[in-house]
Amino acid sequence: MTALPLILTVFVACAVEATEALTIVLAAGLTREWRSTFQGMAVALVVLAVVTAVLGPALTLIPLSALRLVVGALLAIFGIQWLRKAILRATGHKSLHDEASAYLREVAAAKAAATQTRRGVRDWYAFTLSFKGVLLEGLEVVFIVLTFGANQRNVGAAAIGAAAAIVVVTVTGIAVRAPLARLPENAMKFAVGIMLTSFGLFWGTEGAGVSWPGHDAALLVLVPVTALVSLGYTTLLRPGRRPQAAPPGGAQAAAPSSKPSPSSKEVAS
């Protein structure tokens, strides 16, 4: 795989996680206190840096075949989960993930929480909320970068894609100062699910000792096939038009009678 497809894949996947983290940080900062919010974010970034420093070299010591088998299986599982949720949302079986609604929920919770000052942090709630959001979403970014980069022996290109996604989402968030609600997040997750599933199947199969025809070029077939299967399930699960329920008493009761009503004289007789 060349560097460009790797960078673009990691960029899209990390952009989704960065958007969710930005929503939490903005909710904490705008409604509580920016200093505590930035402190929580900074501590989370330090933890992420330590995790990356520990896991990065460890992955390079694992044989490539075993690494691809394990990581391929994990990516396929995550990808199928992303696809499942995206398909259910697209077909109306699951509510769409609305960043604006999530933002409002975080704002309401932040306003309702009491302010607690301890250990040099003015607002412990804002600190914790920011730390939790950045750490959890950041761990997913680290996982994406390390797995994709290690499998292709190009962690640098994967890191470029992740860094570009974080910069773009952050700059956009600062510019609008609101959650990125206009981003078609379900479409992004649908695309990422297709990519994760395809790469997971590709790497997992290679790790099991199977050689794909054309090697990396097989992805040019595997990705469209995965997309077509996913779109097929979306079409099958999309609810059709429900037939109108028959009125009580059947059609005859609903239809007006063509027989003229009796006159008052006839009724009297």
Confidence label for 104 from pLDDT (cuts 50, 70 and 90): low
Distances (CA, A) of 230 to 33, 82, 191, 195: 43, 11, 10, 12
Give tens-digit pLDDT for 119-142: 557 788 888 888 988 988 888 888
Average pLDDT over residues 156-184: 79
- What pLDDT score was predicted for residue 228? 92
- What pLDDT score was predicted for residue 44? 93
- Give the whole-number percent of the chain exceeding pLDDT 90: 9
Most confident of 117-121, 175-179, 214-218, 224-228: 224-228
- What pLDDT score was predicted for residue 170? 86
Give tens-digit pLDDT for 217-262: 787 888 899 999 988 888 888 776 444 444 445 444 444 444 444 4
- Where residue 213 falls (left for φ over 0; alpha for ψ -120 to 50; beta otherwise) is beta
* In-domain check, residue 243: no
Range of the domain at 211: 3-237
* In-domain check, residue 244: no
pTM over 0.85: no
- Give the whole-number percent of the chain exceeding pLDDT 70: 72
Give the chain's domain count: 1
* In-domain check, residue 267: no
* In-domain check, residue 11: yes
Choose the weakest-confidence range: 52-66, 143-157, 255-269: 255-269
* In-domain check, residue 252: no
More confident residue, 183 or 76: 76
Average pLDDT over residues 69-87: 81
DSSP line for the chain? --HHHHHHHHHHHHHHHHHHHHHHHHHHHHHT-HHHHHHHHHHHHHHHHHHHHHHHHHHHTS-HHHHHHHHHHHHHHHHHHHHHHHHHHHTTSS----HHHHHHHHHHHHHHSPP--BTTBS-HHHHHHHHHHHHHHHHHHHHHHHHHHHHTT-HHHHHHHHHHHHHHHHHHHHHH-S--TTS-HHHHHHHHHHHHHHHHHHHHHHHTTPPPTTGGGGHHHHHHHHHHHHHHHHHHHS--PPPPPPPTTHHHHHSPP-SPPPPHHHHH-
Confidence label for 180 from pLDDT (cuts 50, 70 and 90): low
